[in-house]
Amino acid sequence: MSVLNGVRLTSEDMTYGNIPFIGATDKNNGITNWTNNTNASTDKNVLGINYNGSVGEVFYHPYTATFSDDVKRLRLKSSTSANKEIYLFIKTLLLQQKNKYTYGYKFNGTRMKAQKIMLPVMTQGSPNWDYMEQYIVNLMKNVNLPTVEPIKASTVDLNSVKWKEFEIEHLFDRISSVKGKTIDSYQSGTMPYITTSASNNGLTGYVSADKNVTTPRNVITIDPIKGKTFYHVYEFVGRGGAGSAINVLESKYLNKKIGLFIMTMIESNSFLKASYGTQLNGKRLRRQKIMLPVTTDNSPNWQFMEEYIKSISNSRLI
């Protein structure tokens, strides 16, 4: 396979549009933003594999997308074999190697080229592409996919409003850290317990705890190590501690839809900057800049954010 680099694209240089921007995340098929920018990394029908962020995570991209410099592109050298089924087969084999790589031992281009995977072969030793393709075809025949309503096409144009850069400290009424202890410090209860887990909205259990360690509802949380954000419509206890404690953003303007819009903007930057060595908290978090749509007086256009999320969602999603 050919190993191709992504291209660095800062938030300052990015224009928002309809092209998926692929970043170093483990969610949403690698899509961390939508852009109009194209460059040498713009590609399709490739695997995207994370060099930074969620190191070693792999996604298949049949559509045209622009790739961050934290993501490498893997393209089969044989164009006749480069179809969806074969890429999905190889993706699974690459994911089996994921645990070998971390922030300190990154899956860089040199290691990717040297990485070995097991493939079915023909009698003469060449890869058996037909077998791989048919295996995935047969596998998908036995998968019962859920039936859902299609997502509505957006009727709100991101380019119809003016955008402005804001520091996070100027957007929120309060920025704080959670105060909870480890989950073993509490008895079982009904209060959600939130950690830096990247799945299930950070929820890892339910505890019984005093009000003085409880975080209020309708807030955004940020993991300072991975930059992952979640919106919480409920009160919860968050695991505190040292500098890696979850950060909490509170604002009188927040609701779930506005929160989801802002979370996307925060994550588009935080995945590039947060790590064990550079934690996203304190002054670094407060001075983190994000782009938001604004009104004629250059204040955040909360109504537009809410209407945009409404326009791209249906009742089963939000």
Model confidence pLDDT, tens digit, residues 27-42: 889 888 888 899 999 9
Q: What is the pLDDT of residue 60?
A: 94
| Residue 67 bridge partners (DSSP) | 22
How far from 207 is each of 185, 194, 217, CA to CA, in Å? 9, 10, 16
Of the two residues 59 and 197, the one the predictor is more confident about is 59
Residue entry with tokens 């954000």 = 229
pLDDT in tens, 244-291: 688 899 999 999 999 999 998 888 766 555 544 556 667 888 888 889
* Domains observed in the chain: 2-141 (3.90.220.20), 158-312 (3.90.220.20)
Q: What is the pLDDT of residue 106?
A: 63
pLDDT band at 56 (very low <50, low <70, confident <90, very high): confident
Share of the chain above pLDDT 70, in %: 85
Strands (E), the chain: 2-4, 19-22, 31-35, 46-50, 58-61, 66-67, 71-75, 162-167, 174-177, 187-194, 203-208, 214-215, 219-222, 229-232, 236-238, 247-250, 289-294
Lowest mean pLDDT among 54-58, 165-169, 214-218, 236-240: 54-58
Sign of CA dihedral 199, 202, 204, 206: negative
Whether 317 has a pLDDT exceeding 50, the answer reads no
Evaluate whether 113 touches 66 at the Cβ level (below 8 Å).
no
Whether 44 has a pLDDT exceeding 90, the answer reads yes
pLDDT in tens, 131-165: 989 888 888 877 666 665 555 555 667 778 899 99
pLDDT band at 14 (very low <50, low <70, confident <90, very high): confident
d(CA 291, CA 158): 12
Of the two residues 197 and 87, the one the predictor is more confident about is 87
Q: What is the mean pLDDT of residues 105-111?
A: 69
Q: What is the mean pLDDT of residues 67-74?
A: 90
pLDDT band at 316 (very low <50, low <70, confident <90, very high): very low
Q: What is the mean pLDDT of residues 289-309?
A: 92
Q: What is the mean pLDDT of residues 206-217?
A: 89
Evaluate whether 51 touches 102 at the Cβ level (below 8 Å).
no
Q: What is the pLDDT of residue 293?
A: 93
Mean pLDDT taken over the chain: 83
Share of the chain above pLDDT 90, in %: 33
pLDDT band at 297 (very low <50, low <70, confident <90, very high): very high
Whether 310 has a pLDDT exceeding 90, the answer reads no
Q: What is the pLDDT of residue 102?
A: 56
d(CA 270, CA 190): 31
Sign of CA dihedral 249, 254, 260, 262: negative
d(CA 4, CA 222): 31
Of the two residues 158 and 191, the one the predictor is more confident about is 191
d(CA 176, CA 198): 20
Q: What is the pLDDT of residue 276?
A: 46
